[in-house]
Amino acid sequence: MSKAQPECKIENGYIIVPKGLVRVVPDVTYISGVDPSGQATIYRGYTIDDIGEHASFYEAAHLILYGQLPCEDELKEIKKKIDTYRGQIPEKVFDALKLVRPAHPMYYGSYGVTLLGMYNAAYDWKFDKDFLYDHALRLIAQLPVIFAAGWNLAHHGRIIRPDPSLDHAKDVLRMIRGDMPSDLEARAFESTLVLYMDHGFNASTWTTRVIASTLSDMYSAVAGGIGALKGPLHGGANEKALVMLLDAKKKAEEKGVPLEEYIEEYILEKLARKEKIMGFGHRVYKVHDPRTDVAAKFIKQLPEGEYWLKVLKKAEEVMKREKNIPANIDLYTAILYYQLRIPIPMFTPIFAMGRIVGWTAHYIEQVLNNKIIRPSEKYVGPVGLKYVPLEERCKK
């Protein structure tokens, strides 16, 4: 934090902002963001960790989408819609998923969302509130089914169908794993969906808002968000964090040293090679990511929880001392999903299954108060060149 902060400049009436839009605030939002004291991220007035620990998926989705926690009848209504829509994916969408080659499930997500748009919305996109909220709930319900279907087709050659009689989180975890989760497993999984639900103008949400600002449809905007989330500097970090921790575990076993001791040497070697440690660092949380505390409470209750928490705490201690960089949620969900026996390539799709709520809420906020997002560039390439015919262009 000792480095000078990048600055804005005005040149010829244009505002030149730092690369990566660091500390740039391009708009307001009522959905989520860092509170004015800079201490915590807020979901519609509540801290993200409070909602992550206590709210069900349906309650948190209602909060993010509509602005308040639901009353009993509203809770019944949103639950009924999400559970029903989960079971209403057109069969032709599943047929289309069967036609493509096995690939990372994030591709099934962007492809599947586009297919859902073709079947759910086709030509007729509208901007009235009831229509927009209805499609948001369809996407929230159906995206996880698409991801799970893609995974199961690619790895087991079959689709596990949704069961609308189950709670959303339990049913989604069942489709991913192929067996029925316990109530504790379902609740731990559900809380991570809530923790991932929204986070201000993160890269994928901003992508979704940019697409929304062209007045494209919600399905196209979400497909773009999924593409942005796939990158290892964003959602892809939870997968990479577990790969790293399992690599460290294997090396510790080979050396006959406990992982909670060996992790220090492992991190120091990586830092010496100037490698990034996945699951550490954040554009917003420079001191502590409060979402990790909620995930830690569930990790503790799942198999080998105490052991993994010792390893994570040691890794955090080393990173704090060496780089003054805190762990982020992805380090913790990486272990939690490992404890839940979730296949690694499904980690980032699960992030999307939570963030879909934020993406759709931001889509609605953007289109209902829209201005097309179109920054200006500072062109620094050559000027004044003239077209030269091919036969004269590359003469030696």
Q: Point out the residues that are catalytic.
A: 282, 330
Site for ligand COA contains 279 (CB under 6 A): yes
| Interface with ligand COA, residue 278, by CB under 6 A | yes
Q: Is 328 in the site for ligand COA (CB under 6 A)?
A: yes
Residue 69 binds ligand COA (CB under 6 A): no
Q: Using CB atoms, what's the residue nearest to ligand COA?
A: 281
Residue 139 makes contact with ligand COA by CB under 6 A: no
Within 10 Å of residue 344's Cβ, how many Cβ atoms?
A: 16
- Give the tokens for residue 21: 């839009």
Binding-site size, ligand COA (CB under 6 A)? 15
Binding segment toward ligand COA, per CB under 6 A, in 78-86, 152-160, 279-287, 368-376? 279-287
Count of Cβ atoms closer than 10 Å to residue 236 Cβ? 19
**Residue 64 or 242 with smaller CB distance to ligand COA:** 242
Report how far residue 49's alpha carbon sits from residue 54's, in angstroms, rounded to the nearest whole number: 8
Q: How far is the CB of 202 from ligand COA (least distance, A)?
A: 8
Distance CA 192, CA 140 (A): 15
| Crossing angle (nearest 10°) for helices 329-339 and 347-367 | 130
Judged by CB under 6 A, does residue 200 bind ligand COA?
A: no
Question: Is the distance from CB of 295 to CB of 255 less than 8 angstroms?
Answer: no
Contact 49, 291 (CB under 8 A): yes
Q: Name which of 82, 354, 62, 70 is nearest 198 in CA terms.
A: 354
Instruction: For residues 51 and 13, give the distance between their C-alpha atoms in angstroms, rounded to a whole number.
Output: 43
Cα(130)–Cα(382) distance, integer angstroms: 50
Q: Which is nearer to ligand COA, 75 or 325 (CB)?
A: 325
Nearer to ligand COA, 237 or 357 (CB): 237
Q: Is 62 in the site for ligand COA (CB under 6 A)?
A: no
From residue 228 to residue 247, what is the string marking binding to ligand COA with x (rule CB under 6 A)?
-----x---x----------
Does 290 help bind ligand COA (rule: CB under 6 A)? no
Q: How many angstroms separate the Cα of 148 from the Cα of each of 89, 111, 131? A: 13, 13, 26
Q: Which residues lie across from 280 on neighbouring strands? A: 327
Which two structure tokens, joined as six digits, stand for 94? Answer: 């599943």
Which range in 110-118, 144-152, 322-330, 362-370 contacts ligand COA by CB under 6 A?
322-330
Closest CB to ligand COA among residues 316, 330? 330
Cβ distance to ligand COA smaller for residue 145 or 346 = 346
Q: Shortest approach of ligand COA to residue 92 CB, angstroms?
A: 36
113 is a contact residue toward ligand COA (CB under 6 A): no
Give the position of tokens 């954040």: 282
Two tokens at 381?
């390439």
Stretch that binds ligand COA, among 28-36, 84-92, 143-151, 325-333 (CB under 6 A): 325-333
Q: Which amino acid makes up residue 226?
A: I
By CB under 6 A, name the one of 277, 311, 334, 342 that touches ligand COA. Answer: 277
- Asked if 248 and 331 touch (Cβ cutoff 8 Å), the reply is no
CA angle at 212 for the pair 208 and 213, rounded to the nearest 5°:
120
Of the pair 188, 237, the CB lying nearest ligand COA is at 237
Determine which residue in the list 21, 40, 325, 373 makes contact with ligand COA, applying CB under 6 A: 325
Q: In the complex, which residues of this chain contact ligand COA (CB under 6 A)?
A: 20, 233, 237, 276-283, 323, 325, 328, 330
